[in-house]
Amino acid sequence: MALKILEACTNCDMCEPECPNEAIYYGEKIYEIDPDLCTECVGFYDTPTCVSVCPVDCIITDPEREEDHQTLLKKFEALVLNDKI
């Protein structure tokens, strides 16, 4: 599953620098998460760091992007390999 930032986002700038995959970016009005880059921190941390630092709890699992742990791990591995090439 990728994560999603809800409209309750206050643009506090806490989540973006925490993302190890650089999946979080400032969108049209609020921060957004690129689901193709989001691994929910699998491969880096035990839990998503953006969720842990969000002061308004507006980051949820995206119901439209359900991915199991193994899929997230494969995505992580593909992203890491692409960065090293």
Query: DSSP per residue over 5-23, as a string?
Result: E-TT----SSSGGG-TT--
pLDDT of residue 80: 87
pLDDT of residue 82: 77
3-class DSSP assignment, residue 81? helix
Region 8-12 average pLDDT: 97
Average of per-residue pLDDT values in the chain? 93
CA distances 43 to 27, 30, 40, 76, 85, Å, are 26, 26, 9, 6, 18
* Structural domains of the chain ordered from first start: 3-84 (3.30.70.20)
Region 32-60 average pLDDT: 96
- Token output for 38: 């989001």
pLDDT of residue 85: 39
Task: Say whether pLDDT at 84 is over 70.
Answer: no
pLDDT of residue 50: 98
